[in-house]
Structure 1
Amino acid sequence: MPGIEDVGTYDVPVEVAGSGTTANNVARQVLTLSVEPPPITITVSELPDGYPNRDYSAPLSATGGSGQHTWSLNNSELPDGLELNRASDGSWSIVGMPEKSASRLAPYAVTLLATDVMFPSVTATITLSLWIVPDLSILTTNIPSGVSGTPYDTTLQSFGGIAPYTYAATNLPPGLSVFADAGGVWHIGGVLPLDVAGSYDVTLTATDSDSLAQTDIMRLMLMVNEPETPSIAVITTYLSPVTNGESYAPFMFEASGGTAPYTWSAAGLPAGLTLYSNGLLAGTVEADAGEYTITVQVRDSSATPLVATANYLLIVTAGSTAAVTGDDSTPASSAGLSSALVGAAAAGCSMSGSDDGLMMLAVLIFLASMTALRVRAARHAGARVSSNTGRNTA
């Protein structure tokens, strides 16, 4: 089989003689034989997430062609702070430190072009998603009411930044504190003493694990009621993030107190989501990526209805860009030769000519004389090829 050093174009003279002895029984033709380089296959299928102000490295890899490739961006851009880099050993990576301004709720669609060093016409492309993780945001925007003289517990949730998170709170009612359980889940909990009824303006602070720590602050109103005081409260504490174009997992809002059944309504929902009167939140999000403030109201069934409201932060992220590859290195085909070149076609050979029988004979001549052709092929190819080695810089 021809190797990479045999890539080139060859003129193959062919002569076919008939059974007679006259000159008219001899047919001569020069056929063109092309040995094509193998196509490039990009082997990197995903890019790791990046974080603002933290070092980033994503090795790039491909096979095929001469084994030596250059990389470039194809009608796309990298997040601020990142660039394509060629190391001294010839390996390529996306490296740098994403700037804080590069974080967002949608991935970057990065289209990469791999080009063969020896055969510039042999290329391949791929489009990959690159996430720069958004800033830390506290998702817990509502906490349930408590009753003096009883236990109290609610969990805390955040999004973005670098997990795990830690929390602190000020102006909690007596008996309550912020703590992490054995599983790393954070709570506001404890036992509310008697005679602490009232409203408490709680300031909750979340901090992520980045060496350059991010913080987010949320003000929460915690109501502590006297025992036996008629009241109603929304006890759902947060809404999970959702990706646009995807269905929101059916979710039931919860309330406590008052007289069931409850009637629910909402304002500020992103397009595609519906809050039904029974408290079911469902639908397929059609809105753009972003942060949406939603106000939810619940009303009970008592003669003089009790009403409670709660505000929530719903984060909508953009969907990832699926890896899309393109191979621009497919060689031109030759008509009438597919049945004759069973072995040679697999090696990247093609021939052109006007006589199928002559082509078949030329293939036999070519395979028989490959040893001699290798010297000529090296001259056509320009140089011997040395394989490159990739380095993982992650």
Structure 2
Amino acid sequence: MTTARRNVWIRWFLALLAASVCCSPQADAQPATNYEISIADYGGGNFPSAQEDTRYINPTTLGDFELEVALSGLVFSFLDAGGFPYVPVTWTWSGELPPGMTLSALPLYYDSSEGLVVPVRSVKSARVASTGNMNLNSTRMGSVVDGVELRVGDNLLVKNQSNPAENGFYIIGSFSTVRQSINDANSHLGAVVTVAEGSTHGGSWWASTNDGVTWATIQPLLTFGDNLQLSGTPPLGAGGSYSFTVQASYPAGLPVPVSGVPASATEEYTIVVESMILTTDLPNATEESAYPPLQLDADGGESPYEWSIVDGALPVGMDLSPDGILSGTPVSGSSFTSPFVFSVRVEDAHYPVPRVSLREFSLTVLPDGEGELNSIPVGYEGLPYFAHIEAAGAFVGPCAFDILDGLPEGISFDSEAASLSGIFEDDAAGSGTHTYHLVVEVSDSHPTFPQRVEVSLPLVVSRDRSRTFHVATTQLPLAVDGDVYATQLLALGGSRDYTWTTDRLLPEGVSLSESGLVSGVVGDSASDFSPYVLTLTVLDNQTSNTTSVTLPLNVLMEGGIAPELRGVNAALPNAVEAESYDFELEAMGGIAPYSWQALSVPAGLSVLRDEGSWRLRGVPAPESAGSRAVVLEVTDAANVSATISLSLTIAEPGSRPLSFITSALPLARVGQRYGPVALELTGGDSPCILSARGLPDGLELAVSGPVWFIGGTIVDERLGSAAGMLYEVVITATDASGSVAVLDTTLTVQFFALSDGGVPDSTVLVSGLIAGASPAGACSIATGSTNMGAWWPLLAAVLACIGLVGRLRAFSKME
């Protein structure tokens, strides 16, 4: 038990003793009284509003109780400093207070000089108190007192001066301190100050005498008090309405009144913390659509206001101006990371210390446009039909499809493969042409706004087979290593006098005739490169019209086993924060076609299908720079899946990541020396290492000094064609820091020679290779050990001389 409380009980005992000696004859005559506790002021009402980042003490405290404690008909009470009866109560409260604010009972303390328990009628809060004599002329912002560095606006209790007249309560300024008079002339001990911080006096209480210069520590009785005070500083961003309930109760342990313990009193209150920022909600934005300029509103400060974003980020393409106008156009892909949460700060023009408010906002970015389905081919009565349903527009893949209604007889839908197949019945076209409206339910994979909608897809069935010239073959039968293969390609709507060609490589042992027959004995290892994606073109010799279709030819291993499904992208090219990224995903093995989905990709990126190819696309989110894991899953037509883990390096905005200057490869011809063709890069850290995939036999990627190049000679005529056979060539460069650049291009190979016997039209850098020079802007590369590096410069020089001699001989013959 503290000294103060022990003295409380002593005074009760003395009062009881005096009553028994002096007043006992009148005890029975004293009437009994019923006692009540009530909460005065703001009863059931609201507190005055508070302001963000502004110190608050409610101007009128709760309390002012009329309460007596009676025992055996005698009146007992504490006496306050003025000699009036006083009895404390115990306060409790519940509910939600504004952040940074507290409810506190103004406590009691014991005045040993007078032997009184005194209620504290006002309390000031100092951040720190002095521990010794100070030079007040040099005490200002930045000074250190009791281990605490002072800030502008701090309250300082000065109590140890050699000249007591300098003691008091001070406010710290930038260049000086200002003394405040806080002495209460109506209070016996005057002001009470609590000290918040400091290695010596942090958490202590101090009271002054009436002269305001002598200070002594006090021990508050914190469990009791007759007044309750709401105080504190709501932080920036705390704007809003807060409700709480307070209860005043008779303290446990005090003598019980004759009429019994009085009932507790309870009241509910609300306080509003005001912000200078009046705007509370933002209208939604839409990808690739201009956001109507929105002026954020502020009030309660001194204009002009200055606005800024202090936490979070707006969508790429949008901006908040210093005068508070939100505008811009969110880029494509912004909806993937919606909503965007950010904090807005406004500062007014108040001098010398501006007032500041903070508010958190959430901006939702919606996808652009509506989802749609790509059109499907026309069908014909009595003929086989195959079509693949593909989503486009605002749909984000992978998508799931289901046909709810509208399928014609003879046609079925495979939801796993998203394909239509079958044979139309003879009367499917009615009188000539009939359109079936398929009701397709589409469920997409948008990470924020997934859609599940019904879309109408027209399927036209015709009886007039000459109406539209098109390739009727919609899929190719499976081939098997070492087996005989044959299938006839079908075209409709033309003269039937057709010539078929392809510009892509067929499996070893298989060829395409002009009549459209794909046949041969499949090579024993052809499945190693499956699938063979063929662009099949048919020419109508009577009209010169052409039409094409791209189909996969899948080759299985012996026994009809599909080769292992695997991704072929060895690495991903670098991305840059807040810049568009687009990269085609490729796979081999299994049974094509494939579908892809993202298991884990950086924020802002997604996997989607676009015009038949699967792509990793989007805009990397702000502050996503670094090496990021990309985990993808590819699924083939047999529902076999493979997981592919890659690493994506995202560079900071404005950086120059490693990239190719070379964008295309020149024509190659069977039997003629190719190049050497130098590959140029820019950016990155040397040395760089390059690798290539898809080059035809006879061509190789090699390095000489700092230069990487493609060279060699294609000998096999089957690797070219008169019109030119296309090879998909992917060249990957990795620099010393791990940054990656990818060149995805095509190489055309013809099998006939030039009429003049000259060299092909290619970028020949023989002199540069011999001298070891690097093309301008290329990543500096250390010479690596390759199968061509040792002899290629010499061979290039010899071949160059041979070419020169040949040209001189031709010139002499012309003369």
TM-score for the superposition, normalised by structure 2: 0.21
The structure showing larger relative contact order (alpha-carbon pairs under 8 Å, at least 6 residues apart) is 1
Larger Rg: 2
TM-score, structure 1 length as denominator? 0.35
